[in-house]
Amino acid sequence: MPSARILVVEDENIVARDICMRLEHFGYTVSGPVATGEEAIAHARKLKPDLVLMDIMLRGPMDGIEAASAIREKMNVPVIYLTAFVDDKNLQRAKVTEPFGYLLKPFEERELHITIEMALYKHRMEQQLRESNAFSQLLVQTIPFGMDIVDDTGRILFMSDNLKREFRTNGAEYHCWEIYREDRTQCGDCPLKRSEALWSPMGIEVPGIAGGRTFHITHTRMTYNGQPAVLEVFQDITERKRTERALRQSEDRFSKALRTSSDAIAISRIADGIFVEVNQGFTEQTGYAREEAVGKSEMDLGIWADPAQRDQFLGELARRGDVKNFEAGFRVRSGEVRSGLISGRPIEFDGEKYVLSISRDITDRLMLEQQLNQAQKMEGIGTLASSIAHDFNNILNNILGFTMQLKKHASEAEKVQRYCQTIEKSAVRGAELSAQLLSFARKTRRETSPVDVAALVDEMAALCSDTFPPSITVRKIVGRDLPHVVGDRNELYQVLLNLCVNARDAMAGDGRQGDQVLTIEAVSADPGGTVSPHLLQAHGERSVELRVSDTGCGIPKEIRDRIFEPFFTTKERGKGTGLGLSVAYNVVRNHRGTILVESEEGSGSTFRIFLPPVPGENRRTGERPGAKKRPEGVLLVDDEPVMLELGKELLEEQGYKVHVAPGGREALELYTAHRDEIDIVVLDLVMPGMDGGQLYLELKKINPGIKAFFCTGYMSDRVITELLAEEDLRAIQKPVPPELFIRTIREVLAGESE
């Protein structure tokens, strides 16, 4: 233990040195001596001694009593006075400073040592007592429980601050129940009434305190200010009691629900599937009585029609924490397999894991849904057949009628030109109708490649400006640095065309006078800018937005949710099939996009399409691939002679050398014989004997670097998945515009098929 540090304050130099020598002999660390009160205060502040030996009579204006008072007050250092003489006045002054000793000169060495040790001990004890009192005070004031001290009659002797704040009183001269209890009467089971010693804590629950709250009050015997007393500790248990009541009510409700629910409710052990509880609904659905099920496992009873589904159900339960509406087959007591929706949540009893499952038999509902779906399917087929037959009859009537006119007026160039234009328009309309049906039926997938949406908007705006009535003003807005999107250009063109035609019809029939405005836009859609971020989660940081807006009649609220339904239309019979928006919806969805509509009746409509950009592409290149050097030879393979004749004529007009083959076997022989003359092969996909896919694989054996693409009227999902995707081949859909046919040949030859 380090020796005590003692400051000596003595104005007599010889006496001071003698005292210092004695103190060092005792093993103390000595500071000083100093001869004035001012020096004593300065040294005490700087050195922080454990004790000060202070002469009362000092040099200068400040005597030892004044210096000791300052040291005790500011630094809490014990002081022992040293003096040869003191009168009664100074004695009274010295007492006020609470000295720890008083030595009269001359004093013996032993007397000095004992006085110092007693002073140091007394100071340590006082310091510990102060710290203990401070801790007790802090504990009383900060503990979350209220505390008071009462005598044996219940009269309050002390009250903690939190209780004073709680009851807005200091508690003095009151009995405890007069402040705490709402009825101001002593608690019936108050321990103060009993004869127990209360040296060990005794607790009671007391309701009706401070606005209906409930407290647990613990009573313990103690001594306070020298008199017998009782310490009361108050713990507010109102919330705990309310929770306990709610839990009991919840358990009661659960018990009633378990007993009365028509759904099958069961509790089974996860480890082995043993049932520990089932309800009446379980017995009614499965046919097993409670006594037959409880204690048996799900495997024993064969409840799961497919045991692998139980593993899947438990796997989802482990991953997600709960499972909702898991569809599975279950086997009842009679052996019949029925369909159910199962929801489950894990629970734990005594450290063991169980699952609480609720199952609903949906067998009858599924049967009704199948019947309804079949009825709707047949109704839809009827609607489709009548609508499409009507449109196709009109198209065929135009083609046949004007073909007859063409024969009659073959020598009149002006009429021939007009008739040919009408026949061409009718054929294009038929092709569009066929494309809509195939897209709607999802029986075909088109070519997927980077699409320049800005060029698409340019083309669509030009078409609308040329063909729409003069009363409609067409505006286009194209953002800068637009990325390409991945998709089928023809399908996206069809979507824009459908939306623009609908906009035209809405503005033509709204009954308003004056110019109408059709706006076609292509802009970047950034999260937090033009679109909510949650729409772009599948697209990464950016998305491309196509927007078609009109100033027409708008869409009534009552039909707004139905506009994307197949066959739903508000147009007159013969004016539309109701497939346009449905096809647009399916095309956008197949492009991993989103389509939204904003419309108010009488205020126009806006259709917004969000499409993902080409991965890794940030800007629109603005450049289209230029025409490459034309190939020397083309091999056309098609089982339709007319298609071969048309294709050969188109290509020879462009200067190509053309070879034709009506089937796969003939194409193989021709390619083998003229391989050096053929730079590209154009294949029909569906042909008798050897189809286009098989032919391509055979040709690739001959020439692994062969360049080819498909021109076909039908593409199955299997071929697209297994051939087009793997070989990265392009495919264009018949009927195909001649310019697209020629452009595709050039691009594939130039290696731009990606």
> Where are the alpha helices (H) located in 591-703, listed in sequence order?
641-653, 664-673, 692-702
Please tell me what DSSP assigns to residue 254.
Answer: H
pLDDT tens sequence across 651-694: 988 889 999 999 999 999 999 988 888 999 999 888 888 888 88
Please tell me what DSSP assigns to residue 144.
Answer: S
Please tell me what DSSP assigns to residue 612.
Answer: P
pLDDT of residue 275: 92
- Amino acid letter for position 131: E
Query: How do 680-683 and 633-637 pair as beta strands?
Result: parallel
pLDDT of residue 509: 60
pLDDT of residue 620: 41
Q: Which residues contact 24 (CB under 8 A, 6 or more apart)?
A: 30
pLDDT of residue 223: 85
Query: How do 633-637 and 657-661 pair as beta strands?
Result: parallel
> What is the C-alpha to C-alpha distance for residues 415 and 393, in angstroms, rounded to an integer?
23
> What is the C-alpha to C-alpha distance for residues 723 and 307, in angstroms, rounded to an integer?
37
Q: CA geometry: angle at 577 spanning 571 and 579, to 5°?
A: 110
Q: Which conformational region is residue 645 in: left (phi greater than 0), alpha (psi within -120 to 50 degrees), or beta? A: alpha
Tokens of 664: 């796969």
Query: How do 202-209 and 213-224 pair as beta strands?
Result: antiparallel
* Residue closest to 739 by CA, chosen among 654, 660, 680: 654
* Residue closest to 581 by CA, chosen among 593, 596, 599: 596
Tokens of 313: 């159900």
Can you name the residues that pair with 625 across neighbouring β-strands?
none
Domains of the chain: 5-138 (3.40.50.2300), 143-241 (3.30.450.20), 261-361 (3.30.450.20), 367-440 (no CATH), 445-611 (3.30.565.10), 633-749 (3.40.50.2300)
pLDDT of residue 381: 57
> Where are the alpha helices (H) located in 409-509, listed in sequence order?
413-441, 453-467, 489-508
pTM assigned to the model: 0.34
Name the stretches of the chain with pLDDT < 70: 1-2, 86, 133-134, 136-145, 195-200, 250-251, 254, 257, 373-391, 394, 429, 431-448, 509-514, 526-541, 566-580, 616-632, 714-725, 752-754
pLDDT of residue 738: 82
Determine the 3-state secondary structure of 713 from DSSP.
Answer: coil
> What is the C-alpha to C-alpha distance for residues 185 and 181, in angstroms, rounded to an integer?
7
The residue whose two tokens read 């704040």 is 165
Determine the 3-state secondary structure of 380 from DSSP.
Answer: helix
> What is the C-alpha to C-alpha distance for residues 76 and 511, in angstroms, rounded to an integer?
98
CA 754 to chain centre: 36
pLDDT tens sequence across 539-553: 455 788 999 999 888
Cis omega (within 30 of 0) on the bond before 33? yes
